[in-house]
Structure 1
């Protein structure tokens, strides 16, 4: 027998997703979940590299990742997610930052199983912008302190900035009421799809990037505030949000 016969063929290159760990083995960050959903939905093979918050900038610079954005003074901002894709050109892998840029790239590079329905890219982009910039805003005073606290409990190294103020009592209930108002408004809009499919998803019948953006927020609540947050949200609007979570469930596992 040849001494080379037992050698295995080299593994094909796969995409690398850079993520930040939470207080459980399950990923939690909503912007990164949007990319996980796309990778899983498109059945793309990938691996995860976990990077603690204080190490993000140094790690991203070390792999020559572009900044995700620029500050007003022109200084670069490095955040996750970042992907490295060597599958198309192993000698010169694609390195991308910024959730929206990555989503656009994955859709163009891997058009099978599209997440942007034909002719709906502009509407989808507007919907995702609304989720990020309007819908999720009332959640921040609740979820950011909770997330910070949970990461500290896990022993993760988080930002050296002072911990965000934790809401309690009437302030907390008032904040949740503001969140519910956003959920109620979105439910009213999505109910217009009731005559097309089951009305659970944004496009009426099939899941799309819009649903992944929304479900990423639901996962954030479910993973970081299961008892106080998800226990509320899953019952709102006659269980609509739990049904959406259920529709997206099969795309929460890596292919």
Structure 2
């Protein structure tokens, strides 16, 4: 029995909308994992509602969820994660989209066990921006096609054409085959991991040598570990088998530090 079961039965709980991966009810999307980590770390009762990609827009519109972003032409973009929080007001629950907005809301509304320790919010925000915009970028040509191929068939079919919003899935037709091109792509990934390890190693002597801030996990660690879990879920042999041993096993140690917050409820 999960540690939240009795709480769920007694009162309304937060609902996290997620998209299943290779197996039913398997969480894999990095942005959604970030929110799941926060919910688990803060020990907030919640439950997951699973929505396949092709059903996301219709489901979120029916909820009255705000779009996560807008295109240059002004059209709304609906993506996960989304949370519905009825715990404050069951009649008019709070409905939020966009990973950063949700993280800020959870930290402000449930300040116990903070993921932004005092004085760290600005630096952590910049760090997470770097992870999203630079660190993860070399992974996309490798991981997006692999992820596509491991999704349920109905979801794959949705991405072969255009979505209801008119946006095709940004994947190549096939994952990179074994050979020099794939090894070169992984080398570009390793360069980003090496750089990040150098930066984090500056904490040696001031912390435990694993997490970004001293001795306790924070939002940055969850953002990093979310990417590690994506790789582990979708490319366990070609991806995670490589990365877990890079930089003296730092990334496997980080994953272990986050292990207690990986429940899928």
Q: TM-score, normalised by structure 2?
A: 0.89
Secondary structure of 1:200's counterpart equals coil
Matched, 1:252 2:262: yes
**Aligned-residue offset at 1:132:** 0.6
Instruction: Name the structure 2 match of 1:167.
Output: 176
Secondary structure of 1:221's counterpart equals helix
1:192-229 Cα distance to aligned partner (Å, 9 max, x none): 00111221111121100000000000000000000000
1:155 to 134, 153, 156: 153
Instruction: Name the structure 1 match of 2:120.
Output: 120
Instruction: Name the structure 2 match of 1:50.
Output: 50
Instruction: Name the structure 2 match of 1:98.
Output: 98
How far apart, CA to CA, are the structure 2 residues paired with 1:238 and 1:86? Answer: 44
How far apart, CA to CA, are the structure 2 residues paired with 1:246 and 1:143? Answer: 22
Instruction: Name the structure 2 match of 1:22.
Output: 21
Residue correspondence of structure 1 range 167-206 to structure 2 within 5 A: 167-168=176-177, 169-206=179-216
How far apart, CA to CA, are the structure 1 residues paired with 2:145 and 2:10? Answer: 42
**Aligned-residue offset at 1:78:** 0.3
Matched, 1:80 2:80: yes
Instruction: Name the structure 2 match of 1:132.
Output: 132
How far apart, CA to CA, are the structure 2 residues paired with 1:51 and 1:120? Answer: 34
Instruction: Name the structure 2 match of 1:108.
Output: 108
**Aligned-residue offset at 1:156:** 4.1
**Aligned-residue offset at 1:50:** 0.6
**Aligned-residue offset at 1:160:** 3.4
**Aligned-residue offset at 1:186:** 0.1
Matched, 1:208 2:237: no
8 Å CA contact 2:27, 2:264 repeated in 1 = no
Secondary structure of 1:157's counterpart equals helix
Classify 1:23/1:254 alpha carbon distance in 2 versus 1 (closer, same or farther; 3 Å).
Answer: closer
How far apart, CA to CA, are the structure 2 residues paired with 1:122 and 1:111? Answer: 17
How far apart, CA to CA, are the structure 2 residues paired with 1:243 and 1:231? Answer: 14
How far apart, CA to CA, are the structure 2 residues paired with 1:147 and 1:98? Answer: 21
Structure 2: where are the runs of 5+ without partners? 1-8, 162-168
Secondary structure of 1:144's counterpart equals helix
**Aligned-residue offset at 1:254:** 4.9
1:173-199 Cα distance to aligned partner (Å, 9 max, x none): 111000000000000000000111221
1:143-187 Cα distance to aligned partner (Å, 9 max, x none): 000000001xx4342323375232122111111000000000000
The size of the alignment, in residue pairs, is 244
**Aligned-residue offset at 1:44:** 0.4
How far apart, CA to CA, are the structure 2 residues paired with 1:117 and 1:38? Answer: 13
Residue correspondence of structure 1 range 52-71 to structure 2 within 5 A: 52-71=52-71
* Higher Cα radius of gyration: 1
Q: TM-score, normalised by structure 1?
A: 0.93
**Aligned-residue offset at 1:73:** 0.5
8 Å CA contact 2:138, 2:185 repeated in 1 = yes
**Aligned-residue offset at 1:253:** 1.4
